[in-house]
Amino acid sequence: MSETALSQADLQQIRRDLHQIPELALEETKTHAYLKALIVQWQTPWVEIREVPELPTALLVRVQGTQPQRTLGYRTDIDALPIEEQTGLPFASKHPGKMHACGHDMHMTVALGVLHHFCMTQPKDNLVFLFQPAEEEEFGGKKLYDLGVFKDEWRPDEFYGLHDNPALPAGQIATRQGTLFAGSCVVRIVFSGAGGHAAMPHLTNDALLAAASFVTSVQSIVSRNLNPVDAGVVTFGSLHAGGSVGNIIADEAKLIGTMRGLTQVNLEMMMDRIQRIARGTAETFNVDVDIELEQGGYQPVENDPDTTARFIDFMEQDEASDFTIVDSAMTAEDFGYLLHQIPGTMFWLGVNDPSHNLHQAVFSPDEAALLPGIQSITRFLTWRMAQN
C-alpha cells in the first residue's frame, strides 16, 4: 500500500477483507484485530492507539496536531447484522448468518482512508478516530461515553460521522440542519392471562385477544397524538402467542416493536402513550401486562447548528465534492447519543444501490463511493483546521 495515499485498489481490498468477517455487537474480535494491525503498520510518531479493557473490541486513535487549536473527532461503527448474505459476491461473508448488511464495512474503510492520510501527513489540529463496536445493538457509543473514554486529550470538540445511503449516487455527500435520523426505542410487551378451551372462553382471560387489540390501538399514537407536521413510527414486528393448535386460548402473548420520532420530546411522549395504552388494554381484558422500553443510546441524530453550517458551506463550495441537502430519515443511529454530548454532524455517503435497501441480504454498496468519500472528508477536515 502507498505511503502517501491509499489507492482505489487498496480500499477495495480493505473493504472486501472486512466484508468477509462480519461480527455482531460486542463480538467484533476479528474486526478489531484487522483494524489494529493495519493502523499499527501506518503508525507514525504523532499517532497513538488506545484500547478500552472494559469494551475490548473498541479502538481509538489519536493524531497529534502540529499547531492544535481544537480536537476534531471522527467515528465509524464496526459491527454487523444477524443476516444470511445472499449477494453471491466472491468476497461474501464467511461467517454464516452474519452480514455487513448496513454497510459498516464501507464506513470502516472510509475512516481508515481518512486516518491513513493524517498518519502520513501530520495535521494542524488534533484528531481522534473512534472505531466503535455495537451500533446495531447494545449502543456502544453510550457505553464508551459512560466509561469516561472521552476525557482530556481524548475528548473531541467536534464529532463527525457518516452512514451510507443506497439511494444516493456513489460518492455523494448529503446532510441537513437539525435532525438527520430519528431516535428509536425498543418496546417489549408481555400480556399474561388464563388459557383454556376455545369452547369455554368465559373461563379464560385471552392474552392473544388483548395483544391484538393493543396492536390496533397503538396506531393512534402517531395519528392522534403527534403534530401532523412532525413524523413518528410505531411498528410491532413480532407477536408470539399460543401453541400449535387453534382450539386453545393463549395464556400469554409477547410482542416486540419499535417507536421512532424525530425529536426526543416527541419520542418521550410516544413512550408515555404506549405505556398508558398497554395498561388500559390489560385492564379492559382482565389480564396482566409487563412493559419494557429500551432507548439506550438511540437518541435522535440532531446535527449541531454551527458544525453543520460550516460542513454545508464547505461542501457546497468545494467543486470536487458532490453534495446535496436531504430530508430527515426515520432510520436510527446510536451516534445520536454522542451528538447530544458533543457537538457535531452526521452525513450520508451515497453508495448507489437503489434497487436494495439497508439491512437487506442482497444489499451491495458501490465501492466507487470510497475514494471520493475519503477525499471529500479529508478536504473538509483540512479546511476546518485552517479556521479560527
Q: Which of 77, 79, 164, 367 is the catalytic position?
A: 77
Q: Is 136 a catalytic residue?
A: yes
Phi, psi for 290 (deg, rounded to 5):
-120, 130
- Rounded Cα distance between 132 and 314, Å, is 27
Compute the chain's Rg from CA coordinates. Answer: 23
User: Which residue out of 10, 28, 136, 206 is catalytically annotated?
Assistant: 136
- 170 near 350, Cβ under 8 Å? yes
Assign 14 to helix, strand or coil.
Answer: helix
Torsion of CA 128, 133, 135, 138, to 10 degrees: -130
CA distance 159 to 335: 9
Residue 117 annotated as part of some ligand binding site: no
107 in a labelled binding site: no
Strand, helix or coil at 323?
A: strand
319 is catalytic: no
Structure-block grid coordinates of residue 272: 408515555
**102 assigned binding-site residue:** yes
Residue 53: exposure state from Cβ atoms within 10 A (0-12, 13-18, ≥19): exposed
Which residues are catalytic, by number?
Answer: 77, 136
Q: Which residues are annotated as a binding site?
A: 102, 104, 136, 163, 359
Q: Which residues are annotated as a binding site for Mn(2+)?
A: 102, 104, 136, 163, 359
